[in-house]
Every structure is written in structure tokens, then in C-alpha cells.
Structure 1
Amino acid sequence: MPINRRLSLFVLAAALAGCATTATQPSGTATAAAVAPYRDTIELTGRLQVTYQKDGQPGSTNGGFEWSQRPGQIDVAFLSPLKQTVATISVTPQGATLTEAGRAPRTASDIDTLSAQALGWALPVSGLRDWLQGYATGADGKRFIASPANNSVYTRDGWRLRFVSWQAGKDGAQMPRNIVAERGANAGSELAIQIILDPSA
């Protein structure tokens, strides 16, 4: 699999696997409804676009994903623009496994180690499983709960997180629709991730 495709896999999977995110306290006196309650078990689908620069070389990739989350495990299928499954990643407390078509499964103790082995450098992303539901843990260590009126935060590990647009969930509560996470240049690399989530079924 080309390195740019692997990059998109690990950007998403590393983030999904993490427990911590980053957040700030709500600003102002906005009264807009907060995001829907966090769910440990959830099924999501959407599209992913990654743009990055590594050692001065820019790149980008995009595709779809199907996410299945439950306590203790996250399974992610990555789809080509033609909706074909190109790879899957499973993450548990015991380790992470990458399965690609035509290749033997690759495993490691965690998603950061797996990304370092496959890409040659680690992606220190954590907490996207919270981000996808409108939650984070802020630079100050406090829990952040997003809303349409309070939609931006800087994370403890250096990400700028923006909830650009919203949609109604199954119960009518607000759920993220368009999420952008950006990380500035650090040791010659920078990264931007855009997630577009499909409406809840």
C-alpha cells in the first residue's frame, strides 16, 4: 500500500484508539444545545481527507471509512473512492492489528508503534474517538463538550480542533458533521485531517 494511503489509515486509527483529547472551557454565555451524550458503543461512517508535509514533501489522500466502536475495541474499515475495502484496523487494549488486501496482518502493542513500523515515524494522535462525538480533553486537562456556539479548542498534544458544522442525531441532539484537526510544523512535519460524517441512520 502506498505510504500516503497508510498515512491516512494511521492518522485515523491512532486517533480512534486514544483515550485522551484536549479541550477548553466554554466561552461567553452561549445557550445553544450541547452535543449529544457520549456513547461507548457507536457505528459511524464518513469520509476522510488528510493533507500532510513530511520532511518538506507535501502529500494528500482521501477515502471513506466505517467505524464500529464498543467498550474495549474499535474496528475501522477504510474504503477506496469506489467503496472497496482497502484495509482494516482493529484496536484493543492488548494491541493493534492492520490487515491489508494481499498482505499478512501486521500487529503491534499499540497504534503508535504500528504506525512507526509501517510509516517509519509515529503519529502521536490520541482521542479521535472522542472528537467524532464532539468531545475532547483540553490543554488545561479539562473535559471539553462542543456545541455549535463553542466549537473550537486547542488540545493538550498540540492540535487545533474545529467542529465546523453539525447535524441532528437520532434523538435530535446535535452531532458533529464536519471536523477539522490541524497540527502545525513540528520536527519538519505538519498534518491536517478533515472528517465528514454521514447522517445517523
Structure 2
Amino acid sequence: MTRYTLARPFLLAVAASVVALSGCATISSAPRSSAAVASYRDSVDLAGRIAINYSRDGKKESLNGKFTWQQTKSNTDVSLISPTGQTVAIINVTPASATLKESGKAPRTAPDLDTLTQQTLGWTLPVSGLRDWLQGYAVDSEGKRFVASPANDNVVTRDGWKLEYMSWQDDNASVPQPKRIDVTRIALGQAVDDMAIRIVIDPAAQ
């Protein structure tokens, strides 16, 4: 397996999937609450880690990093951070464009982040869905609104991603908040053989 640490392809991969990883999150055995997540918020401020594993032409790749995610009603700003704490890239998404800024390089802009990742990586990643997914919301394969809870913790989205809410910041909270989200590509049809993303949101970000 080839492992990159915040290499250029990873910058867009993380930006697109942006949100957090950690293969060491544990799944609580406490009774599952039926309470749903909080009402959707236009403005959120999150941080965490992310891991992306995929195969392309039979070759397995693994990408890992950290991020911060600042979202308003119209804009999304993402910072990608190295394990040593250095900010290596900043992504800004507005209704009109998506821009990637890397240290020492000219900014790269496209009409949206899906297009930017397609141009840079050769395939798209679930960018637009993340504004919903990080808060426990999605649109399912039948076009219905999905709202996550410990008792209703998985869904296949309209655009072919399987979301599994594996653990929560506090299973017993009256309004649970997602902690770990596993994302698997169901409908590929791209230049990749398979793709899985693991996201963990830091407790301090809630």
C-alpha cells in the first residue's frame, strides 16, 4: 500500500471529503437512543481527521490528514493541516466558485469543488454532500430527507454513497452529535475501483 501524507492529490481529496478521520474511534455498546440529531445549522465550526482509502487500476492508496471546517449559509472554508500543525492548504467554496490555495503556488479556481477535484484528481469526491453529512443529514436514494440518530444510523444517498454513523459524541445525549462517519462509494462509474472514507469529528469542535 502506498501512503501519502498531505501530498498534492490528497489536498483535494481531503477538501472534498473534508472532515475527519481516526481509525481508533470506538463504538459504544450503550443502548441506542431514538433521538435524532439537532436541527440543521447553516453556520458550523468543526475540526477533525480523515482517512481515504481507494483502489485505482488495482493499486491501493491511503490518504490521511487533519482539517478545520468553517461553514456559513453561503460559504465553506476548509484548512488542511499536517501532523505537525502546519496549514498546507486552504479551500474556499462560494456559490460562484471554489478556490484552492497552497503555500508558494498560484491559487487554482473552478466553478465548484466537484469540478476542481475532477480536474485535479480525475474523479469527483462527495463535496456538496458534506455540508449535510457532517451534521447527520442526507438525501436518500429515493430523494427523501434522511435524519440520523443512534437508532437510524445508515443510508444510501441519492448520488450513490453509503453513510454509516458509527459512533456519537455522547450516545446518551438528548441531542446526539456525530463522531465517526464511514462513507463508502456504492455507484462508482469513475476512474477508481473502490473508495472508502472514514471521518471522525473532534469533541472540541461541537
Partner of 2:22: none
Kept in 2, the 8 Å contact 1:56–1:188? The answer is no
Deviation at 1:52, TM superposition (A): 1.0
Partner of 1:75: 77
The Cα offsets for residues 134-156 of structure 1, whole Å up to 9 and x where unpaired, read as 00000000000000010010111
Partner of 2:63: 61
SS at match of 2:39: coil
Partner of 1:45: 47
Deviation at 1:6, TM superposition (A): 3.9
Q: 1:168 to 1:36 in 2, by over 3 A?
A: farther
Kept in 2, the 8 Å contact 1:50–1:60? The answer is yes
Kept in 2, the 8 Å contact 1:138–1:144? The answer is yes
Structure with greater strand percent: 1
SS at match of 1:66: strand
SS at match of 1:116: helix
Unaligned residue ranges in structure 1 (runs of 5+): 17-29
Match of 1:193 among 174, 197, 205: 197
Write out the 4+ residue segments of structure 1 that deviate beyond 2 Å after TM superposition. 2-16, 184-188
Kept in 2, the 8 Å contact 1:182–1:191? The answer is yes
What are the within-5 Å matches in structure 2 for residues 1-201 of structure 1? 5-14=7-16, 32-119=34-121, 121-125=122-126, 126-168=128-170, 173-184=175-186, 186-189=189-192, 190-199=194-203, 200=205
Query: TM-score when scaled to structure 2?
Result: 0.81
Query: TM-score when scaled to structure 1?
Result: 0.83
Kept in 2, the 8 Å contact 1:165–1:178? The answer is yes
How far, CA to CA, are the matches of 1:31 and 1:193 in structure 2?
A: 25
CA root-mean-square deviation: 2.3
Unaligned residue ranges in structure 2 (runs of 5+): 19-31
Kept in 2, the 8 Å contact 1:95–1:110? The answer is yes
How far, CA to CA, are the matches of 2:42 and 2:147 in structure 1?
A: 16
Q: 1:5 to 1:193 in 2, by over 3 A?
A: farther
Supply the AA of the counterpart residue of 2:66: G
How far, CA to CA, are the matches of 2:95 and 2:80 in structure 1?
A: 21
The Cα offsets for residues 18-57 of structure 1, whole Å up to 9 and x where unpaired, read as xxxxxxxxxxxx8611111111001000001111112222
Deviation at 1:88, TM superposition (A): 0.9
Aligned residues: 185
